[in-house]
Structure 1
Amino acid sequence: MARAFSYLRFSRPEQRKGDSLRRQTEAAREYADRHNLALDDFSFRDLGHSAYRGSHAEIGGLSQFLAAIDTGHVKPGDYLLIENFDRLSRQVLDEAFDLLRTICNKGISVVTLQDGNIYDKESLSRNFASLMWALFAFARAHDESAVKSDRLLSTWHNKRKDMRVKPLTGKLPGWLRLSAEKQITVIEDRAEVVKEIFTRYVEGQSPRTIVNRLNQNNVECWGIGKQKSKKWNSSYIQKILDNESVIGRFTPHKIMFEGIKKTRVPLETVNDYFPVIIDAETFNRVQEVRTRNKLGRRKATGGLTNAFSMLFRCPVCGSWLVRVNKNSKSNWQYLVCGAAKAGYRDADSGYRLCPGGYKAVRYDVVEQAFVDAVLCGRFISSTGSALEAVEAAIEAQRKRREESLRRSTNLTNAIAEGALKGSSPVIKDLEKYSLEVVGPADDDLQIVGKVEHWTVAEELELLASAIKGAEIAIERLELDREALKPRTVDIKLRELKMAVCGPEIDRQKINMLLQALCDSSELNADTKEMTFNLRHADKPVVVVW
């Protein structure tokens, strides 16, 4: 008795609730009983999986059937039962027919249950009517999906075009909601929580400290159902701090396909889409601090006692200078090399971790010299060439992005027009980064160029990475530009002066401001000098004690 295997597929997950699965299953069973076929208990399935782009044949249930043919589990003479051809494929005509022909050429007969027709190697080669009907069915299936895809794209295009009048989606940040009139409105008590989070972070509190305060005050978490957490957590605080929605900005995305690979591509950012909760100046200030933290610098903590924490390094071993209590009677504190402190044994064995030795500098003397320098105006706001350099770097990255985008668009259009395929080989010159298309893909075509086996698909992937890299660089540089603007620098320097002239020195605020103002800082115990290399100025500030 010949064996039969059923292949069941529908496109949308919600079709599980409908009749599609039952209908296809019963049709396969009835056909097998009627034609005396042994229906295998295992059916190959792609439930909620589209056949429009061919992913089902590469990573889905159909790929398992093709693998079963190659391994010999499915043998020549066996049958594949499908409801109709649009279950097998909705790809472009040549790819869909190649899939059918591949299965039939391996001795498998394909049955379309809706009309009872059987397709095998011989019928596709000799029966012109069967061939034409298969081609017609595949063409119709692809056209139907293409029309649906175009309609969906058009719908989202119109939504994006009208999103200033009507919100693009009802999915909103936790402090906003959609009114009955379909307008985005602010949940006032939650907006106050957002403002508190930003204010406390600017003051130097860490996300963990902010979380503890919110949980201690029993501030209700946001979310619905299973998405609602019982307690606030640091990761959510960080997401809020990084979310441009607080300043009204929204970046819509669109889905792009390269073969079966799906990528979310950001579109042009829309300003004033959301109600503004945090002013841009505060938001940029927070991003500046967070960017430096992500690059490995000190995160804000509570109760900081060393205004120069993670600012000065040991000139010998590069370890951070730390504040220690050395004389319990006089209660004096000192700055010492952290490695030397950890590795000190005794006078004979020396200093295990730092060959420079345990050199101590009076902390109160250094701090007072710094305070005096701030109060007498040594830290100035005149902007040097740094701002011009950042603006030039932004322009260079924009040109890089535009060039990569132009080349990517040209290749994508060529694929869409049928002039190229993803497998088409290209000449790749790494030194000049030039690209030349060799011609249509061909199994016998030899790859030429400095990089062997380089294809259009690989070039598109490289260009996508270049575009993404340029966008990330631009985002960071724009933060740097905002930080270097004279008005921003003036605000920081005023805050620095306020931090040192109060009844008590605000060491935590001083540290955060110095992290933002300085590219680097040095302390030389031999010459008794501190050097602060300000990001905005051409000349450093040298403080002698």
Structure 2
Amino acid sequence: MIQSDTSVAKRYAYSYVRFSSPEQMSGDSIRRQTALAVSYADEFSLILDDRLTYRDYGISGFRGQNSASGRLGDFLGAVSLGIVPQGSLLLVENLDRLSRESALNAQSLLTQIVLAGITIVTLSDRRTYSIDELRRDPMGLIYALINFIRANEESELKSFRGKASFSAKRAIAESEPITSSCPRWLSLNKNDKTFSIIPARAKVVRDIFSLAQKGVSNTKIAETFNRHKVPAWKSDSLWTRDKVGWIARSSAVIGTFIPHVIEWKDGRQTRVPCPPIRRYYPAIISVDTFQQVQTGRLTSNWAGHGSIGYILNQIAVCENCGSLMIISPSAPNGPSMICSASVAGTAAHYAPIAYGPVDAALRQGLSAIFTACDISAPGYGRSRRLSVAQNNVDRARRELLAVSLSSSHTDLLEEMRHTLYLLEQDLLDKADMYQHSATSKLEKKLSEAIGCLSTGRHDKKSSIAINKVIRIIFSKVVVRSETGHIDLYHDDGKAQRINI
């Protein structure tokens, strides 16, 4: 056990916090793990380095994901680079926070950390694992091994039960739903476990297919719905071509449900589609109509993705209302940027901006900005996306709680639960891809974008490469048409300006 000694130089301690499911985020897991670390550091006069506190939110230790690509992997890298000095302490709640892999792999990870000169402290039982401690008491390795075996068996059992539960549900899918989640034109009757059609929303779906059969594009359908104030099934939402396209492609309209399972491939979590279950939902579109729309000339472009790449795709916003700007290649005077709200018919400021000069100015000014960019700073990579996803889930939970306490409208509550479910799935996806500091992959993207700018390439591939980096570094881009400036905003609100 570490003893407090004022005559000895203070030692650094680093906290590692991990949990694997979004439910734990709203619970006591973060507070408990953090409080234990702070208390231990205070008790033994350790310097708890807040700048390098390592946290893996929604990251599994069962497959070694945290040590391979998560923040524990970053800690190991910091140790090897000397950023974390030898003799430091790594504070964890239990050994299973480090790993839930097979005992052999978990023991290897513990040994790797200890041999690097780091002392591991498990805060729940105050045990220490260091070179000196394990030499004095080799039974510590046996104790750790037993804990790793127990943790791995628990995770294996959870995985087996999850798969068995899904298989059992699928076996009875024709008689009762697998999950309460369903398309928004349906609702689940919990008493008799059947789906009911919501007439007003079903009519919207039928209108989409009717218009599509007549050759109307998804953009025009969305514009028509917005102008006629057709509810988009969310109070603050508008119809977009993507929403229309998703409905037009969804096999749920003909009653078919395609379940997915989570599998691990090449060390990564992947959603894998299972064989479709027919007649799962009540059909609201005939099979002939559905197939006609799928094979029609418009279906190849339902998502609204053109064949040309633009470096401001999905990042430029309107200077008047903040809505996303659409880049139209078919404008009379060449490609133009148009406010999506004005296209949707909900805003009057229809003022196209010529895209050519904007693109030329960006290609001239971005190279210096990219070269000077410090992508190792917090906020780049995927951490911002995870924070946004966490905030969205928290907000949805608060709204659901408030409505459930003050409302008895089951349809509204069911819709809010469905929204929360989708946000939680998005959080899991973001957590799966989470990275806080720069990685070789991110550095490669930046290098590729700088290369495309320096060589003057204007093909689709180079434009997409530049666009990816813009969307990593900046939160939005605003083209000031009257003053002739382009403002590129960072997450903290600061902007970098390029003259057109």
TM range (shorter): 0.5 to 0.7
Contact 1:53 1:259 in 2 (8 A): no
SS of corresponding position for 2:50: coil
- CA deviation digits over 1:193-236, x for unaligned, max 9? 2222212221233333333433343322223xxxx554322222
SS of corresponding position for 1:190: helix
Q: Is 1:206 paired with 2:217?
A: yes
Q: Is 1:264 paired with 2:271?
A: yes
Give the whole-Å Cα distance in 2 for the aligned partners of 1:154 and 1:263: 18
Give the whole-Å Cα distance in 2 for the aligned partners of 1:57 and 1:123: 24
1:112 corresponds to which residue? Answer: 122
Q: Given the superposition, is the C-alpha separation of residues 290 and 55 from structure 1 closer, same or farther in structure 2, using an over 3 Å criterion?
A: farther
Q: Is 1:23 paired with 2:9?
A: no
Give the whole-Å Cα distance in 2 for the aligned partners of 1:120 and 1:63: 19
Deviation of the 1:189 alpha carbon: 2.3
The total of aligned residue pairs comes to: 293
Give the whole-Å Cα distance in 1 for the aligned partners of 2:154 and 2:55: 22
Deviation of the 1:136 alpha carbon: 0.5
1:245 corresponds to which residue? Answer: 252
Equivalent position amino acid for 1:214 in 2: F
1:507 corresponds to which residue? Answer: none
2:146 corresponds to which residue? Answer: 136
2:43 corresponds to which residue? Answer: 34
Query: Quick one: higher RCO (CA 8 Å, sep 6+), 1 or 2?
Result: 2
2:64 corresponds to which residue? Answer: 54
- CA deviation digits over 1:90-129, x for unaligned, max 9? 1111111111000111111111222222212344466331
Equivalent position amino acid for 2:65 in 1: S
SS of corresponding position for 2:270: strand
Q: Is 1:273 paired with 2:280?
A: yes
Contact 2:100 2:152 in 1 (8 A): yes
Give the whole-Å Cα distance in 2 for the aligned partners of 1:72 and 1:50: 27
Q: Is 1:3 paired with 2:18?
A: no
SS of corresponding position for 1:133: helix
Q: Which of 99, 102, 106 pairs up with 1:89? A: 99
Q: Given the superposition, is the C-alpha separation of residues 237 and 19 from structure 1 closer, same or farther in structure 2, using an over 3 Å criterion?
A: closer
Q: Is 1:190 paired with 2:201?
A: yes
Q: Is 1:286 paired with 2:293?
A: yes
Give the whole-Å Cα distance in 2 for the aligned partners of 1:38 and 1:209: 61
Contact 1:256 1:265 in 2 (8 A): yes
Give the whole-Å Cα distance in 1 for the aligned partners of 2:223 and 2:94: 60
SS of corresponding position for 1:114: coil
**Alignment map for 1:131-530 (pairs within 5 Å):** 131-181=141-191, 182-223=193-234, 228=235, 230-290=237-297, 293-294=300-301
State percent identity of aligned pairs.
39
SS of corresponding position for 1:111: strand
Give the whole-Å Cα distance in 1 for the aligned partners of 2:31 and 2:301: 53
Contact 2:129 2:140 in 1 (8 A): yes
- What are the ranges of 5 or more consecutive residues in structure 1 without an aligned counterpart? 300-545
Give the whole-Å Cα distance in 2 for the aligned partners of 1:25 and 1:155: 34
Taking structure 1 as the reference length, the TM-score comes to: 0.50
Give the whole-Å Cα distance in 2 for the aligned partners of 1:212 and 1:118: 64
2:334 corresponds to which residue? Answer: none
- CA deviation digits over 1:374-407, x for unaligned, max 9? xxxxxxxxxxxxxxxxxxxxxxxxxxxxxxxxxx
- CA deviation digits over 1:2-57, x for unaligned, max 9? 22222222233332333333332332233333334332233222233321111111
Equivalent position amino acid for 1:185 in 2: S
Contact 1:78 1:107 in 2 (8 A): yes
Contact 1:101 1:121 in 2 (8 A): no
1:332 corresponds to which residue? Answer: none
- What are the ranges of 5 or more consecutive residues in structure 2 without an aligned counterpart? 1-9, 307-500
Taking structure 2 as the reference length, the TM-score comes to: 0.55
Contact 1:123 1:131 in 2 (8 A): no
User: How large is the Cα RMSD of the aligned pairs?
Assistant: 2.5
Deviation of the 1:143 alpha carbon: 1.0
Contact 1:9 1:47 in 2 (8 A): yes
Deviation of the 1:259 alpha carbon: 4.8
Q: Given the superposition, is the C-alpha separation of residues 84 and 205 from structure 1 closer, same or farther in structure 2, using an over 3 Å criterion?
A: closer
Q: Given the superposition, is the C-alpha separation of residues 291 and 94 from structure 1 closer, same or farther in structure 2, using an over 3 Å criterion?
A: farther
SS of corresponding position for 1:9: strand
SS of corresponding position for 1:240: helix
Contact 1:247 1:277 in 2 (8 A): yes
Give the whole-Å Cα distance in 2 for the aligned partners of 1:116 and 1:180: 48
Q: Given the superposition, is the C-alpha separation of residues 97 and 282 from structure 1 closer, same or farther in structure 2, using an over 3 Å criterion?
A: same
Q: Given the superposition, is the C-alpha separation of residues 249 and 26 from structure 1 closer, same or farther in structure 2, using an over 3 Å criterion?
A: closer
Give the whole-Å Cα distance in 2 for the aligned partners of 1:190 and 1:22: 43
